[in-house]
Structure formats: structure tokens, C-alpha cells
Amino acid sequence: MKVEKIIAPSLLSADFSDLKNEIKSLGNTVEYLHLDIMDGAFVPNITFGPIIINGIVKAAKEFGDFKFDTHLMINNPDNYIKQFALAGSDIITVHAEALTHIDRTISLIKSFDKMAGLALNPATPCNILKYVIRNLDMVLVMSVNPGFGGQSFIEYTLEKIARIRKLADEYNPDLIIQVDGGITTNNIKSIYEAGANLFVAGSSVFKKDDRIKAVKDLNKAIL
């Protein structure tokens, strides 16, 4: 799969009282909308669930053909995957640290005809991917400790991204390598050069007044 629109804005940093206009403010600059689901147990914060995702999916229809990229920062994700699939997610990403049977969960996501992503916290080594990488559509490398927007990028994750790129070249060249947390115009180039091809940006998009410019600036910073 080819990733052309490579910034995935995270709605976590958007104004939740005006989500429709927040999505509209992106113009046609993006393909992926990143949706951060937190349960107050896997991470120390609570956000929203499938009902709100379904509202976002309906609200966004007017403004483009988005891919809804659902990042589940929750324990026992198997219990909720069906609901997130039915809500309209296109990609469902689960955390390796929240799972006992990673292979089974990936199959469950695919049984709903959704793209399957596996997320790794900053401290989680990438060797866990060695066998399962061929069954994944995406790996999400967390470059902050999950739970909050607006944190600083953890530099050592660049090495992990590069290692995952090597694994992907060997076992799954179409794999999307997504990086999430602390991405700015100052560091996106080094993240791209390490091997990532989809970049989550919360504050770097929604905390700026001009969102179209914010996305374009991130794109330009890679060149």
C-alpha cells in the first residue's frame, strides 16, 4: 500500500465542542484521521469510545473520504474490536502490551475486514514483531508514553523505527510504519529518514490556527 497523504491528525488535540468544523479545517490535506481511545486503565486518561467514533465518521463524510485510524489504548481490546469495527474504523490498532495472544487479536481485527495495526510503547522492543509482522497492515511506534497529547518526542525510538523498517523490508514491504507522539516540523524529517511513512500529529496540527498550513508545513519539513 502506498501512503501519499502522510500526516494523520489526532483529534485528541482538537476542540471537542466543534468537531465538525475541526475536521473541516483540514481541507483536503489528509487521508487518515487518528482517533485516540483511552480507558483510564491501560493509560492514565479517558477519552471516548465507539459511539463518538461513529459520530465523527458521519460528521466527516461531508468533507472527504477519510480513513478512520483507531488507536486503542485499552486493556482487553478483543472485547471491543467488533464495536470499533461497526463504528466505522478502517484501521484498528491494538497495543502489544495489552495482549496475551497477539496473533489471535490480529486475526479478529481482520475478520471484520479492517486493517490491523500493532502498537509498541517506547520501551517495548521490536523483536516481538519478528513473526507477526507479515500479518500486519501497520505497526505504530509510540514515540511518547501513551496517554496525553503535547509531550516531547523520545529520541531513542528512532533506532527502533529503523530496525522495524529493516524487518518490514524483509518480511512485509507494504507495511505502514506509523509514529505517534511529539512530532513537529523540527523532527519529522529524522523520523521519515529512520523509515516511518505515516505520522500522527496532534498538537502540531490542532494547536495551530491554520490547520491546512500546519499539515503542509509538516509535509514540507520532510523534503
Q: Which residues bind Zn ion (CB under 5 A)?
A: 36, 71, 180
Shortest separation between residue 71's beta carbon and ligand DX5, angstroms = 5
* Least distance to Zn ion, CB of residue 34, Å: 6
* Binding at 83: pick from Zn ion, ligand DX5, none (beta carbon under 5-8 Å per type): none
CA angle 141, 144, 147 (to 5 degrees): 105
Identified catalytic residue from 39, 69, 90, 180: 180
161 burial via Cβ count (<10 Å: 0-12, 13-18, 19+): buried
Choose from Zn ion, ligand DX5, none: what does 9 bind? Cβ within 5-8 Å by kind: none
**Per annotation, catalytic residue among 36, 39, 69, 137:** 36
CB atoms within 10 A of CB 91: 24
Binding site for ligand DX5 (CB under 6 A): 10, 12-13, 34, 36, 71, 144, 146-151, 180-183, 200-204
**111-137 burial code (b ≥16 CB/10 A, e <16):** eeebbbbbbbbbebebeebeebbebbb
Q: How far is the CB of 147 from Zn ion (least distance, A)?
A: 10
Of the two residues 74 and 109, which places its CB atom closer to ligand DX5 in the complex? 74
Q: Specify burial of residue 173 (Cβ count, 10 A radius: 0-12, 13-18, 19+).
A: exposed
The one of ligand DX5, Zn ion, none whose footprint includes residue 165, by CB under 5 to 8 A per kind, is none
Identify the H or E element spanning 68: strand 67-73
Residues with a known catalytic role: 36, 180
